[in-house]
Amino acid sequence: MPNLRISGLKVGYGRATVLENLNLAVSPGELVTVLGANGAGKTTLLNGIMGLAPPRAGSILLEDEQLVGLRPEQLVARGVVLVPERRELFGNLTVEVNLRLGGYRTDASSKSLDRIYSLFPILAERRKQKAATLSGGEQQMLAVGRALMAGPRLLMLDEPSIGLAPLIVQEILRVIGQLKADGLTIILVEQNARLALSVADRGYVLEVGKIVLEGTSASLSTDPRLSQAYLGGAADYAAARDQVYVD
């Protein structure tokens, strides 16, 4: 069971520093969400953990092992797996090959393939189809499935709900809930705070590269600062929703 401790983390691209002195902890079996607006640094945080944007300072300890400085493939070998926001699928390869490649490190057996197909039955139907021909929702399921093939100990999901129909979002949330029930440690990055808090144990709120708020899901859901900034007042939410449907 992994235990993730991030302290003093600094991540950036080129000359820009996006995150500075960031501290975050995830306990074994916990589902922690990181909330924040566009550009708050949520994706950068995950890229920093994953070694895609190598941290410039600070430490990331998984159990007692230092993760800073490891390459992405070394992190995957240690069970740290990311489902990126852009999904990064192999469009001209079939669904099944995409999944098999997800298990590249683990010599994935057909048993783990069957497990993914039972989690997302639609992928089994589409197994011979090229990934690029899938719908957005199916692509997201494939991205999650591919990550699970790696046998993660810590699964990180970057905005899995983005651009998807509510029904598909429910489907993906259901699977996340099931993974959590199986004891997987999960970091869920979301812009949709209401959604994320409905499944998470705890949450952090990120604003311009800094953590401004943290707490249990229950306390965050009722926190006036969060509800103003991200959840919107109940009336506002209804208004916004009506607006969307009118358009």
Partner 1 sequence: MFDTLLFLLVDGITNGAVYGLVALSLIVIYTVTRVVNIAQGEYVTLGALSFSSALSGSFNLFSWLVAGGLAAFALLDLADRRLLSSVRIRILLIRSVWIAGVLLTAFAAHKFPGSYWLAVLAALAATVSLGTLTYRLTVEPVSGASPIVLLIVSVGVYMVFHGVAVLIWGAEPQSVPPVVDGGVSLGPVFITYQSLWICGFAVLAMAGLYMFSERTLIGQALQATAVNRVGAQLCGIPVRFAGQLSFAIGAGFSAVSGLLLAPLITANYDMGFPIGLKGFVAAALGGIVEYPTALVGVVLVGLTESFSAFQISAFRDVIVFLMVIPILLWRNAVRPPEAHEH
How much of the chain is in helix, strand and coil states, percent to nearest 5? 45, 25, 30
Instruction: Give how many residues touch partner 1 by CB under 8 A.
Output: 30
> How many CA atoms are closer than 13 Å to the CA of 175, on its beta-carbon side?
25
Binding marks (x or -) toward partner 1, 150..169, rule CB under 8 A? x-------------------
**Interface with partner 1 (CB under 8 A), residue from 81, 134, 168, 195:** 81
* Angle subtended by helix axes 95-102 and 136-149, to nearest 10: 30
Contact flag: residue 73 with partner 1 (CB under 8 A): yes
Contact flag: residue 146 with partner 1 (CB under 8 A): yes
Contact flag: residue 225 with partner 1 (CB under 8 A): no
Contact flag: residue 9 with partner 1 (CB under 8 A): no
Backbone angles phi, psi at 52, to 5 degrees: -75, -30
**Interface with partner 1 (CB under 8 A), residue from 8, 91, 136, 233:** 91
E-strand ranges in 27-139 read 31-36, 57-62, 65-66, 80-83
Tokens 């311009």, residue located: 208
Contact flag: residue 54 with partner 1 (CB under 8 A): no
The secondary structure of residue 133, as a DSSP letter, is G
Contact flag: residue 63 with partner 1 (CB under 8 A): no
Nearer of residues 141 and 197 to partner 1, judged by Cβ: 141
The secondary structure of residue 129, as a DSSP letter, is S
181: buried, middle or exposed (CB in 10 Å: 19+, 13-18, 0-12)?
exposed
The least CB distance from residue 62 to partner 1, in Å, is: 13
Q: Segment 191-220, which members bind partner 1 (CB under 8 A)?
A: none
Task: Give contact residues for partner 1 (rule: CB under 8 A).
Answer: 50, 52, 66, 69-74, 76-77, 81-82, 84, 87-93, 97, 100-102, 104-105, 146-147, 150
